[in-house]
């Protein structure tokens, strides 16, 4: 099992699921719940405020993502999704992809949590230096 971002001719999750009505509906539910709970939207990487349109959701676990009866289904738990700016999301995946332990020897959730903490530290240090 690998936590690396899959590339190549056909990555069904990225090519199909992330463009499916199921994902867009699930994404909208996630943001509505944040709003109902009166939680401000912050990027989990850099900590800066954002709008739903400025954020992507990172999956800590894919257990809720299913392809059944010819269609994608989105049953992710609320806390399986983490809001990130696209730049921060890309950096998070790069940290996972480039670290052999995170990419191959940790569960996805654990790898994401470790990489997210590293990302926060790097971005905080970068911001403090500028």
Please tell me the pTM assigned to this model.
0.89
CA distances from 107 to 30, 52, 82, 102, 114 (A): 23, 28, 16, 8, 11
Give CA–CA dist 125/106, Å, rounded.
26
The string of pLDDT tens digits covering residues 41-76 is 999 999 999 999 999 999 998 889 999 999 999 999
Q: What is the pLDDT of residues 72-118, one digit of tens each?
A: 999 999 999 999 999 999 999 999 999 999 999 999 999 999 999 99
C-beta neighbour count of 39 within 10 angstroms: 10
Token pair belonging to 7:
């590339």
The CA dihedral of 70, 74, 80, 85, to the nearest 10 degrees, is: 100
Position 10 confidence tier, pLDDT thresholds 50, 70, 90: low
């Amino acid at each position: 099992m690998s936590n690396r971002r899959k590339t190549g001719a056909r990555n069904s999750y990225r090519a199909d699921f992330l463009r499916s009505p199921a994902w867009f509906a699930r994404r909208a539910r996630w943001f509505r719940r944040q709003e109902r709970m009166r939680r401000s939207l912050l990027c989990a990487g850099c900590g800066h405020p954002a709008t739903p349109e400025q954020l992507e959701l990172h999956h800590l676990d894919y257990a809720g993502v299913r392809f059944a009866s010819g269609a994608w289904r989105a049953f992710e738990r609320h806390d399986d999704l983490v809001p990130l700016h696209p730049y921060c999301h890309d950096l998070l995946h790069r940290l996972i992809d480039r670290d052999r332990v995170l990419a191959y020897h940790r569960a996805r959730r654990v790898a994401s949590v470790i990489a997210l903490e590293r990302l926060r530290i790097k971005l905080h240090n970068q911001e403090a230096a500028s």
